[in-house]
Amino acid sequence: MTTPTPTQARCASLRSKSSYGAFGDFHEELVEIMGATTTYWCLNTMGKAGPDEHYVHRSICQQGRSCWENPDAD
Partner 1 sequence: MPLEIITQEQEQGAQPGAKKVPNAAKPEPQAVHQDVAAPPVASKDSGPPKRSESFVFGIPQNGLTSKQREVPVDEPPPLARNADLRYIGKPTARYDGPAKAMGKGKYTADVQLPGMLYARMVDASVPHGRIVSIDTAAAEKLPGVRAVYVVQHTYGLAELRDPKQETPSRYPLIRYAGQPIAGIAAVSPQIADDAAKLIKVQYDPMPFVVDRTEARAADAPAVFPGPADAAGSAGGGGGPKGVPQVGNVHGPQRKQTGDPAAGFAAADVVVESEYFTQVQTHSALETHGFVVDWKPDEVTVYASTQGTSSVRNDMADVFKLPKSQVRVITEFMGGGFGAKFGIGNEGAVAANLSRMTNAPVKLMLDRRQEHIVSNRPDSHQKLKIGAKRDGTLTAIELTSYGTAGVGTGAGTAGPATNLYTCPNLLTEEYDVFTNAGPGAAFRAPGHPQGCFAFEQAIDELAVKLAMDPIALRDKIDENQARRVERQLIVERTNWRNRRPAGSDAGPIKRGMGVAQSVWYRFVSMNSSCEVRVSRDGSVELMSAVQDLGTGTKTMLAIVVAEEFGIPPGQVVIRIGDTRFPVGPDSGGSVTAGSITPAVRNAAYQAKQQLFAAVAPQLGTTPDNLHLAEGRVLFKNDPSRSYTLKQITGKLPTDEISARATRGPEYAKEKLTYGGVDYVELAVDTETGRVHVEKVFGAHDCGRPINPTGVISQINGGILQGISYALFEQRIMDRKTGYMLNANLDNYKILGAREVPEIEIELVENYIAQSSTDAAGIGESAGIITLAAAIGNAFFNATGVRMRSIPMTPANVLAALGKVPGQPGQEVQA
* Residue 47, strand partner residues: 42
Helix and strand counts by DSSP (H, E) for the chain: 1, 2
Count of positions on this chain that bind partner 1 (CB under 8 A): 55
Considering the complex, state which of residue 33 and residue 72 has its C-beta at the smaller distance from partner 1: 33
Residues 39/58, Cβ–Cβ less than 8 Å: no
- Contacting partner 1 (CB under 8 A), which of 22, 72, 73, 74? 22
Gap between the terminal Cα atoms of the chain: 38
Q: How far is the CB of 17 from partner 1 (least distance, A)?
A: 5
Instruction: Kindly list the residues in this chain that would bind partner 1 in the complex (CB under 8 A).
Output: 1-4, 6, 8, 13, 15-18, 20-26, 29-30, 32-41, 43-55, 57, 59-69
